[in-house]
Amino acid sequence: MLRLALMGDLHYPLIEQANRELFELREGFYFNFLKSFLDLEADLHISLGDLTHNGLMQEFEEVYHCIRTSPVSFRHVLGNHDAYAMSKAQISSVMDHPPYEALETEEALLVFLDSTRELQPQDWSGDLDAQQLEWLESQIQRNPDKPILIFAHHPVYDTTHMSRENKMHIDPLLDIPSILGKRNGIGLYFNGHNHTHSIVHKEGWSFIQTAACLCDPSFRIVEIDSGQIQTRVNHVEDPEILQHAHELFKKLPGYHAPMNAHGEPSDRNCSILLPQRKAYSS
């Protein structure tokens, strides 16, 4: 069995103590929320990007300090906010893994993408360079008997909720669907960016978007076991965390706050049956 814990856009901000109200709200929400996330039982904990709000080194250092107090295995795909203030080389000095990579387990192939533009705060749409696109295509064609799970910050154009809106998707000129279409087997694509829960099944793929942490304080659990992949949203129930999230949601400068982050029940939970693996005789 493989169990993954996913966190949507965290947006941890640097706030000066002089701004007492916002500072106290940040202290009351973020570290308690992170602790709840890191306490989840999982083989891998994954941030779907925008771990930080302004992409500042101090923001990264404070969040990673909290993460490293826990013994979990953690992966972070970069979000556009993460790359606003520093080069990716500078960001990599804080992270414990490359900006894009693949991990293979007994149950699945896990692919982590970097869909962010470097130092372009006016363009928050997604992009992948030619080298990464070529690498992605090579991963798509690996081990078709196993499901492939892709994790990126930006959605593929015209898939999950709001992914047709301006800058709310990977540049459609890259034609990611053509690359994904080369997969002969089960494929799931997980993303954040648009701050709402959404699940869309399209052209043999399941596109699964997780809401931002302030918009809907929750985590997404993904399990591969007994011939199926199940994903569900676990909502945080701590009233203090929820109250702080509600206030920050309204007051954090430069924060995208959609009207309905919860989506429909079908946007939160789903189950996908896996084909039986072929038995080979010697």
Position 134 pLDDT exceeds 80 = yes
The gap from C-alpha 224 to its chain's centroid, in whole angstroms, comes to 18
Predicted pLDDT at 121: 94
Q: pLDDT exceeding 70 applies to what percent of the chain? A: 98
Whether the per-residue pLDDT at 168 is higher than 50: the answer is yes
In degrees, to the nearest 5, what angle opens at C-alpha 107 toward C-alphas 104 and 111? 40
Residue 184 has a pLDDT of: 92
Write 136-144 long-range contacts (CB < 8 A, 24+). 136/111, 136/179, 137/179, 137/182, 139/102, 139/109, 139/111, 140/179, 140/180, 140/182, 140/183, 140/187, 141/182, 141/183, 142/102, 142/104, 142/109, 143/104, 143/109, 144/183, 144/184, 144/185
pTM of the model: 0.96
Q: Whose CA is closest to 233, among 2, 49, 5, 54?
A: 5
pLDDT digits (tens, 9 = 90+) for 220-242: 999 999 899 999 999 999 999 99
Beta strand 205-209 pairing with 187-191: parallel
**pLDDT given for residue 282 in this prediction:** 40
**pLDDT > 90? residue 258:** no
Dihedral sign of CA atoms 42, 49, 34, 197 in order: negative
Is 279 a residue whose pLDDT tops 60?
A: no
Average pLDDT over residues 39-52: 98
Handedness of CA 181, 182, 187, 189 (dihedral sign): negative
Mean pLDDT of the chain: 94
pLDDT for the residue 280: 44
Q: Give CA angle at 223 (199, 101), nearest 5°.
A: 80
Across residues 257-264, what is the average pLDDT? Answer: 86
Domain 2-273, what architecture? Answer: 4-Layer Sandwich (3.60)
Tens-digit pLDDT profile for residues 136-167: 999 999 999 999 999 999 999 999 999 999 99
Q: pLDDT tens digit string along 203-214? A: 999 999 999 999
Predicted local distance difference test score (pLDDT) of residue 278: 56
Residue 70 reports pLDDT greater than 50: yes
pLDDT of residue 277: 63
* pLDDT tens column, 72-117: 999 999 999 999 999 999 999 999 899 999 999 999 999 999 999 9
